[in-house]
Structure 1
């Protein structure tokens, strides 16, 4: 159960970072340093989520289902 909550929280932060990057892209008129930083955070969170899913599958925190 706690694993599902962590996944949903990370997904929420990924979407929030994406929308903050969109906001910075629309409002900032300079080089866009904050946009790049927000997108970098989003990529880091996405990689973290992918690794969490791999670890959860390996340790059977995510149930294996047969097709």
Structure 2
């Protein structure tokens, strides 16, 4: 499970880097840069939601345990 979370974070960072690349490119190649950037950001949102749901399911099924400040 730990490796899945690490891969998820790497995908999120890669998607942000891709959006930055498309934003900084000047767009002289004939393709609109906004659609590529919006697609990369949409993938980032999708990866973030998928990662959150996987962490939530892993907690629900007992694969991970919460730590930190105890509830009282």
Assess same fold via TM > 0.5.
yes
Q: In 1, Cα distance between the equivalents of 2:19 and 2:49?
A: 18
Pair member with larger Rg: 2
What runs of 5+ residues in structure 2 fail to find an aligned partner?
Answer: none
In the TM superposition, residue 64 of structure 1 has moved relative to its aligned partner by: 3.6
RMSD: 1.4
Moved over 2 A (4+): 28-31, 64-67
In terms of fraction of residues, the more helix-rich structure is 1
Q: In 2, Cα distance between the equivalents of 1:20 and 1:59?
A: 34
Q: In 2, Cα distance between the equivalents of 1:57 and 1:23?
A: 35
How many matched pairs? 65
